[in-house]
Amino acid sequence: MAQLAPSDIRNVVLVGHHAAGKTTLAEALLLASGALGRQGAVEKGTTVCDFDPEETSRQLSVSFAIAPFVLDGVKVNLLDAPGYADFATDMRDALCLADLAVVVVSASDGVQAQTEDAWRMAAEIGLPRVVVIDKLDRERADFDRTLAEVRAAFGAGIAPVELPIGSESGFRGVIDLLDDRATLYDTAGGPPLRGTEGPIPDDLALTEHSVHEQLVEGIVVGDDDLMARYLDGESITRDELETTLASGVAAGTVFPVLCCAGATGVGVDRLARLLVELCPSPTRGRPARVSAGGVETEVPCDPAGPPLLVVAKTLSDQHSGRLSLCKVLSGTLTPDTVLTNPRTHSDERLHVLATLRGHETSPIDAAVAGDFVAIPRLTTSLTGDTLAPKDKPVTVAFPGVDPPALSVAVVPASRADEDKLMSALQRLCEEDRGLSVTRNDEAHQTVLGVSGEVHLAVTLERLSRKFGVTVQREEVAIPYRETISKPANAEGKHKKQSGGHGQFGVCHLRIEPLGRGEGFEFHDAVVGGAIPRQYIPAVEKGVIEAMAKGGAYGYPVVDVSVTVDDGKFHPVDSSELSFKTAAALAFREAIAAGGPVLLEPVSKVTVTVPADLQGDVLGDLNSRRGRIIGTEAGSDGQQEVTAMVPTAELARYAIDLRAITGGRGRFRAEHDHYDPVPEHLVAGLAKAATE
């Protein structure tokens, strides 16, 4: 098609709970617009947006996909975001890239946990929203009940602009409340369906008239001129109502409710047109904010401006390499444009530009501000990076990533797997911002940070499929520590004779407890040359190495003050090694006499849940040896609970909290301090440390 202007582009994201019908609806929209010749099915693994084997086997989206279509000369970039809680990072990214959120609600299941999460995320960034009640053809589908749930959950501004005709398997059409017309569909032939306009069925006429009047009153209140005309009894045209409604949508004060059935296609053609009419173009959406030198400015969506883009998503294939989906924020891109990545300070030549639909690419000659473009083989740029002119190295803010809710250690199954593991995990992290990889050198563990069990399973499957790496999982080692409760002293003697020069060193240590978190102090109080000055550093080194190897319970020692105050040396046989060994012996003996105490890490946990679930959460935290610090009511009916909880009790908290709250709870945890382990747990932990 001819070169588009930004005003001819719409960026729309489908969000909602898992299994609400988003991917099926995306498929139906592509079919209704003519972008597809045949509608795929999630159950058969044939949809455009779910193309990874991990998605098709589970029948759920694990990352957002783009599926553009063109309708009446307008290009709609449809982003299909995952609805499963484990993949909320991708949903947040997609929301921040769009100009309109279509919140899809199942007519049979109603408002669910991730429906609420999607709405909250969109509200936080000020993104306009439209609600689509889908699956009206399903058993137990109820439009009125679902609409009531939507109003109860999301408050003021919810405005139905369509009503369904028929219910469940008899759902056959929709009523347009803007112009008092009905559209009926013959479902016998199957999708794509084209509706036929006609009069409103008699049994719905009274209901439609009442809801129509409420809708018109709600729309004209946003325009003084229309309000005056309406009060004077003048008729307001559909075009005027639609224009005013679109302004309310863009301002985030009105949230239209539409209805359809993605599987049968009823109402989908109308939805496609309404997305074009109601979604703000990139020129009317939120301007991009860039920073340079600590100063933030706004960049207009201007095709004549300097080229500026942000890497929205990175896809990696072992055969074709890296493919970067980018959003053009300013300017007009052409092949072989050279831009700079301010993060890496390296230049990137955009050799090829392409459109991306699912995983299929098509070369294009140019990409204009407001549009998306796929660029293969960028060398250093990753998701969230900015590409800008070399003389204007600005950066665009990209959504942050929540801390991992679940951490699991992985062990390579073979030596060959070990050689490939870290590079393979690094590649996966480039694709999946919700995944993190750290190395715990103390426990010699490679630790994956994920959002939940499903996220972990998907990651391990990708690791095997893409890179041929097989791993086994194990629990992450908890970093227990030891300290002492009272002062103690001990003498360490190292003497060894083996022909020639021997080894001889004696040192006397005093140890005292320090305050929690104060670490380690070393003092030299030797007088009279009992230990030559050159051997004092060896004594300190021996103490530090002994602390790291573990005390009475086998865990590293912290929060102690060590003073060396006496010793003996031999002019021939003494050496640094002798005094280092003597110091280690003295330290271990002193620790055993100092009333050793086992310490466990304690995390500060903040849990956000609906108010009616607060009691369940408090009870669960108490069962985890948690200490409640406080609770605070939020403005959105949520309660925020803060508690100190032993880190060992949080290993599966992400999964357990989801079960307790039906997916409506979320939390963040960060290390806060160390506390003594309860006496009844010490023996088991000490045994585990020595096994």
Query: For residue 385, what pLDDT band results from cuts at 50, 70 and 90?
Result: very high
Q: Is 235's pLDDT higher than 90? A: no
Tell me the C-alpha to C-alpha distance, in Å, between residue 689 and each of 117, 476, 551, 684.
Answer: 41, 14, 11, 9
Query: For residue 111, what pLDDT band results from cuts at 50, 70 and 90?
Result: very high
pLDDT of residue 319: 65
Pair of tokens at residue 560 = 């102690």
Place of tokens 């004696």: 506
pLDDT of residue 691: 67
Place of tokens 């047109």: 273
pLDDT of residue 305: 93
Q: Is 12's pLDDT higher than 70? A: yes
Q: Convert the pLDDT of each residue in 672-685 to its tens digit.
A: 999 999 999 998 88
Place of tokens 């550093």: 537
Pair of tokens at residue 645 = 């909880």
Q: Is 1's pLDDT higher than 60? A: no
**Considering the entire predicted model, what is its pTM?**
0.89
pLDDT of residue 192: 80
Contact 278, 2 (CB under 8 A): no
Question: CB within 8 A of 557, min separation 6: which ones?
Answer: 481, 482, 483, 484, 546, 547, 550, 551, 591
Contact 493, 466 (CB under 8 A): no
Mean local confidence (pLDDT), 129-158: 95
Pair of tokens at residue 180 = 């008092």
pLDDT of residue 635: 66
Helix and strand tally (H, E) in the chain? 16, 37
Which of the two residues, 3 and 159, has the higher pLDDT score?
159
ω into 389 cis (within 30 of 0): no
Which of the two residues, 341 and 501, has the higher pLDDT score?
341
Q: Convert the pLDDT of each residue in 615-644 to its tens digit.
A: 999 999 999 999 999 999 876 778 999 999
pLDDT of residue 188: 83
Sign of the Cα torsion 631, 635, 636, 637 reads positive
- How far is the C-alpha of 482 from the C-alpha of 595, rounded, in Å? 10
Query: For residue 222, what pLDDT band results from cuts at 50, 70 and 90?
Result: confident
Pair of tokens at residue 489 = 């002293």
Burial call 253-283: b when 16+ CB within 10 Å, e when fewer: ebbbbbbbbbbbbbbbbbbbebbbbbbbbbb
Sign of the Cα torsion 177, 183, 188, 191 reads negative
According to DSSP, the β-strands at 288-292 and 295-299 are antiparallel
Of 381, 376, 291, 383, the C-alpha closest to 345 is 381
pLDDT of residue 83: 96
**Three-state secondary structure call for residue 82:** coil
Of 12, 132, 25, the C-alpha closest to 68 is 12
**Three-state secondary structure call for residue 218:** helix
- How far is the C-alpha of 287 from the C-alpha of 12, rounded, in Å? 16
Q: Convert the pLDDT of each residue in 248-288 to its tens digit.
A: 999 999 999 999 999 999 999 999 999 999 999 999 888 88
Mean local confidence (pLDDT), 555-577: 93
Q: Convert the pLDDT of each residue in 508-550 to its tens digit.
A: 999 999 999 999 999 999 998 899 999 999 999 999 999 999 9
- How far is the C-alpha of 477 from the C-alpha of 440, rounded, in Å? 9
Of 21, 4, 5, 23, the C-alpha closest to 79 is 23
- How far is the C-alpha of 245 from the C-alpha of 160, rounded, in Å? 12
Supply the mean pLDDT for the chain.
92
Contact 510, 622 (CB under 8 A): no
Tell me the C-alpha to C-alpha distance, in Å, between residue 339 and each of 307, 376, 394, 431.
Answer: 8, 14, 11, 22
pLDDT of residue 320: 67
Mean local confidence (pLDDT), 345-351: 94
> How long, in residues, is the chain?
691
468 dihedral zone (left: phi>0; alpha: psi -120 to 50; beta): left
Contact 193, 272 (CB under 8 A): no
Mean local confidence (pLDDT), 131-153: 96
Rounded (10°) CA dihedral 25, 28, 30, 35? 170
- How far is the C-alpha of 592 from the C-alpha of 484, rounded, in Å? 9
Contact 41, 56 (CB under 8 A): no
The CB-side HSE value for 136 (13 A sphere, CA atoms) comes to 28
**286 DSSP assignment:** P
Q: Convert the pLDDT of each residue in 400-413 to its tens digit.
A: 898 888 899 999 99
Give the amino acid at 66: I
The vertex-264 CA angle with 263 and 269, nearest 5°, equals 100
Of 244, 256, 280, 249, the C-alpha closest to 98 is 280
pLDDT of residue 318: 63
Contact 519, 481 (CB under 8 A): no
Q: Convert the pLDDT of each residue in 390-445 to its tens digit.
A: 988 899 989 989 888 889 999 999 999 999 999 999 999 999 999 999 999 888 99
Pair of tokens at residue 647 = 């880190």
pLDDT more than 70, % of the chain: 98
- How far is the C-alpha of 263 from the C-alpha of 638, rounded, in Å? 35
pLDDT of residue 229: 86
pLDDT more than 90, % of the chain: 77
Contact 102, 276 (CB under 8 A): no
pLDDT of residue 500: 63
Pair of tokens at residue 95 = 């929301």
Question: CB within 8 A of 219, min separation 6: which ones?
Answer: 159, 226, 241, 244, 245, 248, 254
Q: Convert the pLDDT of each residue in 167-190 to its tens digit.
A: 999 999 999 999 889 999 998 877
pLDDT of residue 657: 93
Mean local confidence (pLDDT), 327-350: 95
Domains (range + CATH), the chain: 6-278 (3.40.50.300), 298-396 (2.40.30.10), 406-474 (3.30.70.870), 481-594 (3.30.230.10), 599-690 (3.30.70.240)
- How far is the C-alpha of 563 from the C-alpha of 540, rounded, in Å? 9
Contact 83, 24 (CB under 8 A): no
Of 576, 491, 590, 587, the C-alpha closest to 533 is 576
Tell me the C-alpha to C-alpha distance, in Å, between residue 253 and each of 127, 159, 221, 245, 630.
Answer: 11, 10, 11, 10, 34
Phi and psi at 177, nearest 5°, equal: -75, -15
Pair of tokens at residue 384 = 């969230």
How would DSSP label each residue in 328-391?
EEESEE-TTEEEEETTTTEEEEE---EEEETTEEEE-S-EETT-EEEEE--SS--TT-EEB-TT
pLDDT of residue 405: 86
